Amino acid sequence: MTMFCVVIAEWDLTPERASIKDLRSWMRETAIGEYSKVPGILLKSWYSGPFEQSWGAVYVLSDPNALNADRLPKNREGATGPIGTPPDRIKWLRLEALIQGVEGFREVLPAMECATVIDATVSGDAANARNYGE
């Protein structure tokens, strides 16, 4: 039986690191397309904490090696994203169950401010991404 993992990675933002606005742009313009192609990542969602100035991601993985630095997309400077440092907090968990609610992602995400959805199973890249909000 395959064991699936949930990984929560979070960064504390400072003006020297990156702004939430910059990270949203990077996510939409670069990360969505690139991360949708990484084998072993079943789901990745990004989140921001504007009040505490944090940025993070939640992954569901079929292969824990999917997050090895050599498998992740790199920017021009060789980092895996615009922050350029490992997460300040990272938590590895065993996935016990996963459901999709009655509303499903496609019905809920359009109502969310700043939401982006991509169906990589259809397009394989960001060509099918839709942006909502800012």
Residues 23-50: tens digit of each pLDDT? 999 998 889 999 999 999 999 999 999 9
C-alpha span between 109 and 51 (Å, rounded): 22
C-alpha span between 1 and 7 (Å, rounded): 19
Tokens of 130: 């839709």
Residue 32 is inside which H or E element, if any?
helix 32-35
Domains of the chain: 5-98 (3.30.70.100)
pLDDT at 121: 45
Residues 86-113: tens digit of each pLDDT? 899 999 999 998 887 777 666 555 555 5
| Of 37, 41, 71, nearest in space to 57 by CA | 41
| Of 21, 30, 9, 7, nearest in space to 129 by CA | 30
Question: Which of 12-16, 43-47, 68-72, 127-131 is the least confident region?
Answer: 127-131
pTM for the predicted model, two decimal places: 0.76
How confident is the model over 65-74, as a mean pLDDT?
Answer: 88
